[in-house]
Amino acid sequence: MDHICIIFVPGMNRKRALVSDAFKPKKRRNGPEKFGASDEGGEPADMKSTLENLMTLFPRKLFNDTVPPIVLKHQLYSVHSDKTLVDKEVNKLQESGELLMFQLGFDSEAFGLVFASDYKTKVLAGEEGKATQATVEKFLEKVVSSCTDLSFSKDKMLREFLFTDSEITQLVKSGVLTVRDAGSWWLSIPNSGKFTKYFIQGRKAVLGMVKKSKYNEVLRVNLEERRTTSHVKFPMKYHVHDIVGAELVESIPTTSGTLLRFADS
């Protein structure tokens, strides 16, 4: 079963093995294009509403509705310019048990956000009738419902959550845990390997569209309205929120709308 994972190997810098330097986040130079709730004027942003709006762009059918809608945290930065506020509101949603965060395997700074209810629904549906079902249900109840950690040590799993070695093996097999290093595991999303593949593929393709445009720039509205190619499985708007939020393009206000310019290293 494929799922999102990241493994840190001592002495080797492979955190960005699947993403070239050209796709690393850049320092923000311009404000984001507003979408959904606003944080202008010092008003608290409705981050849950923004997340819900962004998740409507997630292509459920592409994964046969087996993967919960995933939004990357930096996509919120394309909507709300105040990163500190975004992080604060996301933490509140995590602490309330409404939102889960996952370390995504292609970049150490890429964090996936999934509503806890969606995660549990998809995980339980995938476990129905399997030998690992009871152990996974225990994990969802004892760990996912009460803990905001992105990873878990063997000592914590054994002593605090009272899982056996055998049960931990079952959780890895089911895809809700994936190996981080010897003696620790990341919380993970079952069946999400295809998401990572399509996401990286689409990001590169959409950035390529910007780079191939005259002067390496294109109006945001024109890019969002382009037809997707065989390399772009997600809606264009999903990828635009990604490249803007990750600062892979500069957002420049013009009289014709926001201009996106490829951000050189």
Task: Tell me what percent of the residues of the chain surpass a pLDDT of 90.
Answer: 74
Q: How many domains does the chain have?
A: 2
Q: Which residue has the higher pLDDT, 17 or 191?
A: 191
Domain extent at residue 256: 193-262
Taking 3-state DSSP, the helix, strand and coil percentages for the chain, each rounded to the nearest 5, stand at: 45, 15, 40
- Average model confidence (pLDDT) across the chain: 86
- 213 torsion bin: left (phi>0), alpha (psi -120 to 50), beta (else): beta
Q: pTM value?
A: 0.82
- If one counts every other C-beta atom within 10 angstroms of the C-beta of residue 194, the result is 16
Determine contact, residues 192/105, Cβ cutoff 8 Å.
no
CA distances from 39 to 57, 199, 228, 232 (A): 21, 28, 31, 31
Task: Return the higher-pLDDT residue of 223 and 108.
Answer: 223
Strands in 177-181's sheet, in edge-to-edge order, are 151-153, 184-187, 177-181
Residues 93 and 79 in one domain: yes
Same domain, 216 and 120: no
**36 pLDDT above the threshold of 50:** no
pLDDT at res. 45: 58
Report yes or no on 82 lying in a domain: yes
**Residues 91, 127 within the same domain:** yes
**The two structure tokens encoding residue 249:** 């393009």
Instruction: Please report which confidence band the pLDDT of residue 264 belongs to, taking 50, 70 and 90 as the band edges.
Output: confident
Do residue 202 and residue 132 come from a single domain? no
